[in-house]
Amino acid sequence: MEQLLNDYTLRTVTLGTAILGAVSGALGTFAVLRRQSLLGDAVSHAALPGIGLAFILTGSKASLVLMVGAGLAGWFATAIVLLITAGTRVKYDSALGLVLSVFFGAGLVVLTYIQRYPNANQAGLDSFLFGQAASLIVADVITMTILGGVALAALLLFWKEFKVLAFDPEFAHSLVLPVRWLDIGLTTLLVVAIVIGLQTVGVVLMSAMIIAPATAARQWTDHLGVMTLVSMVTGALCGVGGALLSTSISNLPTGPTIVVCATGFVVISMLFAPLRGIIWQRIRRTVQNRELRSESVLLDLFELARTHDDLTYPHMEPALRVIHPQRGTLYRQLRRLQGKGLVQMHQNGAWALTPDGVRVCDQLRKDRIG
Amino acid sequence: MNAVEVRDLTVAYRESPVLWDIDLDVAPGVLMAIVGPNGAGKTTLIKAILGLLKPAAGQIRILGKPYRRVASLMGYVPQRGTVDWDFPTSVLDVVLMGLYGRIGWVRRPGRSERREAMEALEKVEMTGLAHRQIRQLSGGQQQRVFLARALVQDARVYLMDEPLQGVDATTERAIIDILHSLRSSGKTVLAVHHDLQTVSSYFDEVLLLNVRRIASGPVSKVFTDTNLRLTYGGRIAIIKGAP
């Protein structure tokens, strides 16, 4: 195996997977924002019979031929989903599930049929199930580059139209944009993004390449352009990582390896991203809670002092503990407030507001009432 | 020539009519409230006028022409809840979207478009929040952003779906001032409105709607107890009243 993997193969594989990752990352951004990630899953599963039929009809395994077959089948599936939702009371998700499983089943039947085909050329089509990066040749990568390049160029060209389509399609209509055609166009680009990844990632898990990089990217930014770029880079890294791992370990299918890689990115982003990450939000909540607790101690001191005509009148800790029974917490809050110069401890151990503390209390009371 | 002219408009979802045989004339420069109970078809009427849904029957003419020829002369303020406010974009970006139709294909918004968007944000007193992520806005601020986006459309007829929904008193005042200044520059505004108390002080004309047109015209003439009872009294009342 090691000898098989000379640099040339590696370079081809790396380039191919980087391209597929970048393209699916870019189009995935829009699919995720338009809540169409499941459509990607349906399209990729539906591509399987298209691949089989394209092979039966042409006898060729050239990637362009198979991609066209896959693309047409994926497109056909999308159209059927739309017809079902428009013409019946079946809901969108049920229609997707239905089309996905029916097409996938048909695809498996076609593949089984091909395996009995009296033609030595048939071997390898089943690698489309879970993907096989090692099977990429230069011609495949060239096809992927051209198709992916066209898809990215179209995305860039119609960027603002696609953006308003994704955010507010009805408003896009009021701008006299051809919303239906834009929708068809963007969906077609999604189909292209899926199709160029099928040989490497496989039909079963290709949707992960649409969903995962975009989901990870959303965590890091609030800007659509930046999100698309981050998603492209993430997709490319996932693709390359998964493909290299699967080519260096024999019999490891590429699709699952890439998905494991992508899952890593998503988990890290969910946890550690600033602002949206779970850990960041946890920290912020803790800080807020602490802030709120010490504010309430401060205000209670204020309330107690108010009954004495002197807002800096000192009180012993037990008087405050009536309101704040937890001994440790109260003491910590008082120390924190002392550190900020808002309260001071008198010699007898009584606590009082400082003039600064009184000012802060006045402000807080105004904010809370107003 | 009327700004909006609706004849015999019927819209149906799966056989049951949502709007039934509506006639409506709105003169240019009029501020009209569309009033009626939930499910009366107010949003549907706005969407039909905008060409967002296909009527089962009837004609709609805007400034004397069929919709397709004058679509660019209409501005739209949708209900706040119709979009995902977690979408990765900024306030200024959303307002710029109002110019996307005019900018033309392929081109990107440039400095002059940005200036125009900022001016619209100034009118709704939101310049300070131009670069905010839209998730961080309050309900009233979201409403103002949508209004600013419609202002840059520079339309002749504005259709607004509950522009005052869930806004505080200050924002309500600000939005009404903007509507009045639109009127004084000759624009026509149709707005879905819920607060019956303020109809007569805010609007010139009113359309009372409950699937059928109950009444329409100047507020002083049309906005009567009898008509309101007909509008809100449920469909039974309407059937009784029908010949």
In chain B, the residue whose alpha carbon lies closest to the alpha carbon of A165 is: B97
The confidence score (pLDDT) of residue A4 equals 47
Are A114 and A234 within one domain?
Answer: yes
Residues in chain B: 243
Tell me if B83 and A159 make a contact (CB, 8 A cut-off): no
Tell me if A170 and B52 make a contact (CB, 8 A cut-off): yes
In chain B, the residue whose alpha carbon lies closest to the alpha carbon of A166 is: B87
Rank A12-16, A184-188, A253-257, B22-26 by mean pLDDT and report only the highest: A184-188
Are A211 and A149 within one domain?
Answer: yes
Cβ B203 vs Cβ B188: under 8 Å:
no
Are A140 and A85 within one domain?
Answer: yes
| Residue of A160, A219, A223 for testing the chain B interface, max B β-carbons within 10 Å | A160
Three-state DSSP class for A23?
Answer: helix
Beta strands in chain B (DSSP E): 4-13, 16-26, 31-35, 57-62, 65-66, 74-77, 157-160, 188-192, 205-210, 212-218
Using CA atoms, how far residue A275 sits from A9, A266, A301, B85, in Å, is: 42, 15, 34, 16
**Beta B57-62 vs B4-13: how paired, if at all?**
antiparallel
In chain A, the residue whose alpha carbon lies closest to the alpha carbon of B70 is: A176
Are A85 and A130 within one domain?
Answer: yes
Tell me if A224 and B89 make a contact (CB, 8 A cut-off): yes
Tell me if B88 and A33 make a contact (CB, 8 A cut-off): yes
Angle at A154 between CA A174 and CA B155, to 5 degrees: 15
Domain stop point among A233, A248, A276: A276
Q: At A128, which CATH number?
A: 1.10.3470.10
Are A103 and A179 within one domain?
Answer: yes
pLDDT tier, A369 (very low <50, low <70, confident <90, very high otherwise): low
In chain A, the residue whose alpha carbon lies closest to the alpha carbon of B102 is: A175
H or E stretch covering A351: strand A351-353
- Nearest-angstrom CA–CA distance, A68 and A354: 77
In chain A, the residue whose alpha carbon lies closest to the alpha carbon of B68 is: A176
The confidence score (pLDDT) of residue B240 equals 38
Q: Higher pLDDT residue, A298 or A327?
A: A298
Tell me if A167 and B84 make a contact (CB, 8 A cut-off): yes
Q: What percent of chain A has pLDDT over 90?
A: 37
Are A221 and A286 within one domain?
Answer: no
The answer, yes or no, to whether residue A298 has pLDDT greater than 50, is yes
Are A10 and A153 within one domain?
Answer: yes
Q: CB neighbours (10 Å) of residue A304?
A: 19
Contacts of B51 in chain A (CB under 8 A): 173
The confidence score (pLDDT) of residue A327 equals 65
The answer, yes or no, to whether residue A226 has pLDDT greater than 80, is yes
Q: At A291, which CATH number?
A: 1.10.10.10
Cβ B143 vs Cβ B163: under 8 Å:
yes
The confidence score (pLDDT) of residue A73 equals 94
Contacts of A163 in chain B (CB under 8 A): 89, 97
Residue corresponding to tokens 């045989």: B21
Cβ B164 vs Cβ B170: under 8 Å:
no
Q: How many domains does chain A have?
A: 2
* Nearest by CB: B100 against A157, A160, A221: A160
Are A30 and A68 within one domain?
Answer: yes
The confidence score (pLDDT) of residue A230 equals 95
Using CA atoms, how far residue A123 sits from A120, A340, B110, in Å, is: 7, 75, 55
Tell me the average pLDDT of chain A: 86
Tell me if B153 and A223 make a contact (CB, 8 A cut-off): no
The confidence score (pLDDT) of residue A167 equals 94
- Backbone phi and psi for residue A214, each to the nearest 5 degrees, phi listed first: -65, -40
Tell me if B89 and A176 make a contact (CB, 8 A cut-off): no
Residue A61 is part of which domain span? 2-276
The confidence score (pLDDT) of residue B243 equals 38
Are A167 and A87 within one domain?
Answer: yes
Using CA atoms, how far residue A146 sits from A20, A50, A141, A160, A207, in Å, is: 11, 21, 9, 23, 21
pLDDT in tens, A233-244: 999 999 888 888
- Nearest-angstrom CA–CA distance, B30 and B158: 11
Q: Which amino acid is at A324?
A: H
Chain B: residues touching A (Cβ < 8 Å): 47, 50-52, 71-72, 74-76, 78, 82-84, 87-90, 93-94, 97-98, 100-101, 103, 105-106, 108-109, 133, 135, 149, 153
Domain stop point among A248, A276, A304: A276
What pLDDT tens digit does each residue of chain B (243 aa) get? 888 888 888 888 877 788 888 888 888 888 998 988 888 888 999 988 888 888 888 888 888 888 777 778 888 999 988 899 999 999 999 999 998 888 888 888 888 888 988 998 988 888 888 898 998 888 888 999 999 999 998 888 999 998 888 888 888 888 999 999 898 888 999 999 888 888 888 888 888 888 888 888 888 888 888 888 888 875 434 443 333
pLDDT in tens, A56-82: 888 888 888 889 999 999 999 999 998
Are A248 and A299 within one domain?
Answer: no
Rank A93-102, A239-248, A281-290 by mean pLDDT and report only the highest: A93-102
pLDDT in tens, A300-331: 888 888 888 788 888 887 777 777 777 677 88
State mean pLDDT over A135-143.
86
| Residue of B52, B99, B100 for testing the chain A interface, max A β-carbons within 10 Å | B100
* Nearest by CB: A160 against B74, B78, B108: B108
Chain A: residues touching B (Cβ < 8 Å): 33, 157-161, 163-164, 166-168, 170-177, 218, 221-224, 226-227
Q: CB neighbours (10 Å) of residue A229?
A: 17
Q: What is the pTM of this model?
A: 0.83
pLDDT in tens, B148-194: 999 998 888 999 998 888 888 888 888 999 999 898 888 999 999 88
Are A57 and A175 within one domain?
Answer: yes
Are A211 and A325 within one domain?
Answer: no
Domain stop point among A276, A310, A340: A276
